[in-house]
A = this chain, B = another copy of it.
């Protein structure tokens, strides 16, 4: 199998100023293309360390992808290291990248300085993929088998995440045209409503019956539930896709309405798909989740088509005054209760005139009251067919509880809309 190393260059990662998110993305894209990442490495802005580390990675991997070390102020170190490594004695201007440097700086109303023009100068030993999102070029160094014992390629990408990520498709295409990659077939379904360990128990028999060439991966996430991925390495793609389809059909029977998507998705994305173009609308009333549900809903582009708005009623008076929750309900049931959750959902639905409404009331912190302990949330969902409530309890810190509460609420809403569509 073709192997790769991913290397970030830059003191800012080593001293913990920045979390490296590029490597994870690059690694997933390589994996999807059938390339195995054997190592990730972060090193500082130091000429000798760069030369020595990259040489070693090129000895051990077919492909080395570096990110970072290419800003206008520290360009020199990385480029000089790459020039040394590839035996280049001089720099040449790359006209396509130079054009981008001028275009980008002019669009920002900035003058093009020498330091900027330097960015389009590259060692004469490399090929360039023009970076259309920034001023630093993507450099490709190819090494024949005489150098490291095998055909090796080094891709140098900028460190700025959207530039690095924007370059990955071009890099993968270049790899595909120079290496013979194993075929790999993936498919994903999204599941919400059960912890990873319980889920694993529930589908144990199904998983044990998988053929030996089929691999299941669990990718749990606080906000989106568990992503289940089936992969087959090698073989015919179309045939494998059909085999995966068949297995997933059986799995969906077991999981029922916990499955909310047949691809990579989020709960708010799934809700968007259900509502968009339907003429149906949505509103939210939040207490303990403090705006997170509205925030998640509005991260979906086009949410304005169905999302009318929300009320964060953090103080009890706002629940009463704005959402028309009755003080008696609060007094008799407690502020964190099924009754208040239902009244909040119904209140914001009336206030906004939406088709659906979702509401939360809970204790995100290490406090509770005589009715409910810390970590408890009551979710209310209201729609044309009535109102439902559900209770959840999580044992995390404040931030993670808010995320879990929000995701659970979105999931209850998603189930109500789906069940209405089926009815």
Contacts and interface: CB of A to CB of B under 8 A. Distances in A.
Interface of A: 13-21, 23-29, 31, 37-44, 49, 162, 217, 219, 281, 284, 286, 289-299, 301, 303-304, 307-315, 317-318, 321-322, 351-353, 365, 397-399, 402
A296 B322 CA distance: 22
Contact of A298 (B37, B298, B309, B314): B314
A201 to B, nearest CB: 12
A318 B352 contact: yes
**Within the oligomer, what is the number of copies of this chain?**
2
A34 to B, nearest CB: 12
Contact of A303 (B21, B37, B298, B314): B314
A235 to B, nearest CB: 20
Given A309-B315, A317-B352, 19 more contacts: A15-B37, A17-B219, A19-B24, A38-B49, A40-B42, A284-B291, A290-B297, A291-B291, A291-B292, A291-B312, A294-B312, A299-B402, A307-B315, A308-B314, A308-B318, A309-B311, A309-B314, A310-B312, A312-B312
A16 B352 CA distance: 42
B301 A291 contact: no
A296 to B, nearest CB: 8
A308 to B, nearest CB: 4
Given A308-B317, A315-B309, A38 B19 contact: no
Between A13, A17, A303, A398, the greatest number of chain B beta carbons within 10 A of the residue's beta carbon is seen for A17
25 contacts: A16-B23, A16-B26, A16-B28, A17-B28, A18-B24, A19-B20, A38-B43, A39-B42, A40-B41, A40-B42, A162-B397, A290-B299, A290-B303, A291-B291, A291-B294, A291-B295, A294-B314, A299-B399, A308-B314, A308-B317, A309-B315, A311-B322, A312-B312, A318-B352, A321-B352
A307 B15 CA distance: 36
